[in-house]
Amino acid sequence: MRQRRLPGSQVAPIIESMSSQPRKILLGVTGGIAAYKSPDLVRRLIDRGAEVQVVMSRGAQQFVTALTFQAVSGKPVRDDLWDEAGEAAMGHIELARWADEILIAPATADFIAKLTHGFAEDLLTTLCLATSAPITIAPAMNRQMWANPATQANVRTLKERGVRVLGPASGEQACGEVGVGRMLEPTEIAAEVFTTRGAVGPLQGLKVVVTAGPTREKIDPVRFISNRSSGKMGYAVAEAAREAGAHVVLVSGPVQIPTPLGVERVDVESAEQMLSAVQSNVAGADIFIAAAAVSDYRCREVACEKIKKTSDTLNLALARAPDVLATVSRNESRPFLVGFAAETEHVERNALTKLINKKLDMIAANKVGDGLAFDKDDNALTVYWQDGKRELSLTSKAALARQLVELIAERYHARGEPQNHNPTPALTAAHAR
């Protein structure tokens, strides 16, 4: 089994840095029309497992109410440096220390200028001066304001100081003009905020191949056999792996989900096409995560023309479809293998059987059916490996994927080291029967 390991001195710090604790993000909202997107950004960050505290400038309150942000974040909004209750114990310093990251979205030209020159005239600018947390800004303004030499000089200065600048994008603006200045979409900002920054991510430098979604097996030119997989879990895993620093190739069945930023996507339809795409991309991969719901059977013969309704019954002869995960497992130089087991009954027994029979390194199992998992935005998993298991409780698929990827990274780097935690039932031949 091939393995690319970091030097021993680097492994422990990486594993120790991984945590399932919520990321504490202070979201600053300034006075631009793009502020209407910021409540959605709060939800996107929370979906990824973050705890979000909103701080609004006076101008932002002309576009969106504080009540809106309180409703989506679950926290009272802070907006006043002179709030007697909030500042009784130097609340602005407490907030500055609380945040793991400060994100300003939208960041207007005015705010960027104040941040560059060290103004501390309100709560938000004061927090930015008083924090040791990294700062990210998502600019949003008229195209001429963005192109102005003063703004460009300010942005260059902030970048030199380590401030991360996301965007802006090009497109139609609220003023009717078209050009660079639009704030990135909330999904894009959330993805970038959770991308490893500064430190080495737990999957930094590794190649990860992920499969996602269902496959379709043709019956005739207009009909097919498939399943209820939406692809949401697999796409979340691909995005989480990319955030952890990996180069990610996503082999996807037919789904209606946008490609995660920075992820290389290969579209397929059938199990045979998925196997071919995986085999083409898994060479040189360090980790293979098989999250797709691949069809177990396909039609023995596919009709060349649409089958007409000529009788009350129709018999279809089915044959086994290619087993993508089992095939990769038999490769002479195989990556670290992670399977999924979606079961309606005997979840642990069936998962352990699959773990043994397909010689996997890990398997993530969950119960499906009766409204569970498929087509849902949340999920729960029990992850098994040779000498242990871990429960990942019900949460959004985005947050769950980050926890799963952290665990995969931990197990990948710890291979070959003695393990003595959360032992599974003995993995014997009894599980494989």
**Which residues are known to be catalytic?**
175
User: What percent of the chain is helix, strand and coil (3-state, nearest 5)?
Assistant: 35, 25, 40
Structure tokens at 344: 């309606």
Distance CA 219, CA 97 (A): 60
Torsion 107-109-110-115 (CA) sign:
positive
Helices 232-243/397-414 angle, 10° precision: 50
Residue 251: HSE in the Cβ half-sphere, 13 Å Cα cutoff? 29
- Residue 372 is classified by DSSP as B
Rounded distance between C-alpha atoms, residue 352 and residue 359, angstroms: 10
The side-by-side arrangement of strands in the sheet containing 23-29 is 50-56, 23-29, 101-107, 135-139, 164-165
CA 100 vs. chain centroid, Å, equals 18
Radius of gyration, CA atoms only, the chain: 25
Retrieve residue 129's tokens: 């001066």
DSSP three-state, residue 318: strand
Question: How does strand 217-220 pair with strand 223-225?
Answer: antiparallel
Residues 140 and 173: their CA atoms lie apart, in Å, by 10
User: Where would I find the H helices in 217-331?
Assistant: 232-243, 271-282, 324-329
The residue among 344, 343, 348, 367 whose CA lies nearest residue 425 is 348
